[in-house]
A and B are shown apart, each in its own frame.
Chain A
Amino acid sequence: MKSLEQIIVGCKKNKAWAQAELFKMFSDKMYGVCLYYSENKEDAEDLLHDGFLHIFSNIGKLSHDNVEGWMRKTFVNLALMNFRKRKVLFVDETWLESSETFVADDLQMQFSADELMMMVASLPPQYKIVFNLYAIEGFSHKEIANTLQITESTSKSNLSRARVILQEKLNKVYCL
């Protein structure tokens, strides 16, 4: 079994075995990223394909140890590029606050990561992208607004709407 360092060195030398190893090591996690940034599985597979090709051709630029973080960032950037190409219409809705409350710790005990992420994946694209960037990637509203070329208020309203939908979904499943 080769170490990550050896694999990265091999990838930088364009070695096929190293590329296969890198894929084996990170493909599942990156496929997860692809899934919650894509509309469907086919799009996610395309994103996975394009993302790994991009990583293999740009791995020479990798200068730090956080390989996974760098790969994740690459996938997110590609997803954003695809998202911008699709020209999804953002609507500035009223900032809705959820009236219901719940105890997150309890819920976390009930749902697996797969179920939770599938809920995110099922969100409408404009809500999903804002929620992913804000809640999971840690972007601020200003950064989201710059990245997606929307206003901050649109970003906030979309995030709020996404939260409401997710909360409804959680409650529905929890009540069952």
Chain B
Amino acid sequence: MSDMRNIDNLFKDASKGFAPKTPHEAWGRIESSLKKQRRRKILFWWVFSLTAISIALLVSTFFVQDIFNFDTPYISQPKSNYNIKEKIELKDAPPASSSSAAYVSESQQHLQDANSQKSERKSSPNNRISTFSDEKSKPMVSVKETKSMPNDSKILEERFDNDILNEGVIPENDSLQLPEVVFYNQTTPMESKENHVISSEDSILVHSDIMVEFIQNVISDTIVPVDSVEKTVPPSRKCAILFFTELYMGFGFSGALFQQPDNQIETVSSVTELRNSYTNTKEFAFGVFWNKWMISSSLSRINFRFQGDLNLPSRNIKYIDTENFGTSPMGYFSLYNIQNVMQGRHYSNIDYLRHFDRTRFELYTTQVGLKIGRVLPLNNWQIVYGVGVNTLFINSNVVAGSDEFGYTDWGSVSNLRGRLFMVSPFMQLNYYTRSGLFLGLKSDFSISLESLNKSSEFYFKPYSLFVGPKLGFRF
């Protein structure tokens, strides 16, 4: 047993001092994995931040809505609940004569009887439009002609008004068959309450079909349900042209479809492979909404940035051609400063080249675009989707080469086109405030229809996904 312990201790002691030399490339592998992890983290935080900003924008619009109560930005509101009384006009009203006075006196008698029963009767909110059983019993009320009416009818009218307007109750008398009309606004109670228009609580009893006709024809045009921004525009303005401007800054993720040339030129010392890229955008747009369509034109400043690895060929490098220093998917590129930088380093020329490992390409462009889109309104929200055609003008391009001290050598890609045609499907979500100001979230996917380089050797079509907030004004 002690021998076994001895063996165990022998190997345990040996393990303490066991430290073989780690393979040379082990750290390189770990380092590249760590770099990948960092990149993934950065990408995650970008996506997370953009999502958080978008959500914050959306949520903040709800707060703005709550604070400023922009529920009904385009609705014309009636001045008063009871102003309609003044608009009532008399139809088939008899002239103010003794016969009418007699008629009213008779009516008054019946009303007095009816009033005695008033306490026994409960007002019902569900009063319906009653029919006239007798043509003679048709109501004859005129506000405008009140002065010409006899005293009796004045009293009757006052009492009638009091009953209608203050208590919402009309005396009921079967023998008189005084017509009774309870009109409820067509809008839902909630909408009516918000808009300060006629609600169920303020039900108006109208004792004339004239009133019904009036309300249906006149008021219904005034009271507009709040279904959408578009519906709030009066019918006459439904096809009106509204102008808007918008300005947004977007962040894009761009990529490229490309192929490398088959034959490399002997003087070229490196090949660059693109790894990742991103885009930032500033855009000014001006457009027109017409009915449910939107047409807009835009002017954008877009910077594409592509990053890549610089790979040296396995063959020996005999000399450096600064004009055609390397091959990238975009074309041949130059690096003018390389000889100056070389002199400042303590490497031989060839060794210095081996310290190059990265390149960066930047395209500075201006884009002019035309977009057509369909507008889906939903209350104060608006979803716009459609397609745009753009022309991308390439203003300049820059290539940067990097050694261990950072990007130190500068040049450019040769033989690039001056302009590219792009197609961009898009989608926007906008929130409109009462003042016409709108906030939005915009997403464009833009892809080039032609290759960036004029040479047929290179086939490079950049594409970009822009996602960004948008601020605009509709007037």
CA distance A163 to B9 in the complex (A): 12
How far does the Cβ of B34 sit from chain A's closest Cβ, in whole Å?
A: 7
B4: Cβ under 8 A from any A Cβ: yes
CA distance A107 to B9 in the complex (A): 12
- Residues in chain B near residue A36, CB distance under 8 A: 15, 18
A113: Cβ under 8 A from any B Cβ: yes
B30: Cβ under 8 A from any A Cβ: yes
- Residues in chain B near residue A98, CB distance under 8 A: 3-4
The answer to whether A101 and B3 touch (CB under 8 A), given A19-B34, A20-B27, is: yes
The answer to whether A104 and B20 touch (CB under 8 A), given A16-B34, A31-B26, A36-B15, is: no
How far does the Cβ of A108 sit from chain B's closest Cβ, in whole Å?
A: 6
How far does the Cβ of B411 sit from chain A's closest Cβ, in whole Å?
A: 29
How far does the Cβ of A23 sit from chain B's closest Cβ, in whole Å?
A: 6
Instruction: List the B residue with the shortest CB-CB distance to A119.
Output: B11
User: B10 contacts A104, CB within 8 Å?
Assistant: yes
User: A28 contacts B21, CB within 8 Å?
Assistant: yes
How far does the Cβ of B55 sit from chain A's closest Cβ, in whole Å?
A: 27
B190: Cβ under 8 A from any A Cβ: no
- Residues in chain A near residue B34, CB distance under 8 A: 16, 19, 53, 56
CA distance A94 to B55 in the complex (A): 67
User: A32 contacts B30, CB within 8 Å?
Assistant: no
Report, as a range, how many residues of chain A touch the other chain.
35 or more
Interface hub of B21, B22, B37 (most chain A Cβ within 10 A): B22
User: A134 contacts B8, CB within 8 Å?
Assistant: yes
By secondary structure, the B interface counts as helix
The answer to whether A27 and B27 touch (CB under 8 A), given A53-B34, A98-B4, is: yes
Specify which of B23, B27, B37 is in contact with A57 (CB 8 Å cutoff). B37
- Residues in chain A near residue B17, CB distance under 8 A: 113
B19: Cβ under 8 A from any A Cβ: yes
B6: Cβ under 8 A from any A Cβ: yes
How far does the Cβ of A17 sit from chain B's closest Cβ, in whole Å?
A: 11
- Residues in chain B near residue A84, CB distance under 8 A: none
User: B3 contacts A102, CB within 8 Å?
Assistant: yes
Instruction: List the A residue with the shortest CB-CB distance to B19.
Output: A28
CA distance A36 to B17 in the complex (A): 13
User: A32 contacts B15, CB within 8 Å?
Assistant: yes
- Residues in chain B near residue A107, CB distance under 8 A: 10
- Residues in chain B near residue A166, CB distance under 8 A: 7, 11
- Residues in chain A near residue B8, CB distance under 8 A: 134-135, 163
User: B26 contacts A104, CB within 8 Å?
Assistant: no
How far does the Cβ of B466 sit from chain A's closest Cβ, in whole Å?
A: 31
B87: Cβ under 8 A from any A Cβ: no
A120: Cβ under 8 A from any B Cβ: yes
CA distance A27 to B31 in the complex (A): 13
How far does the Cβ of B430 sit from chain A's closest Cβ, in whole Å?
A: 40
Instruction: List the A residue with the shortest CB-CB distance to B21.
Output: A28
Instruction: List the A residue with the shortest CB-CB distance to B10.
Output: A104
**Top-3 shortest CB links A-B:** A104-B6, A116-B14, A135-B8
A sample of 9 more A-B contacts (CB under 8 A), given A32-B18, A48-B22, is A27-B26, A28-B21, A49-B26, A102-B3, A107-B10, A113-B17, A135-B7, A135-B8, A163-B4
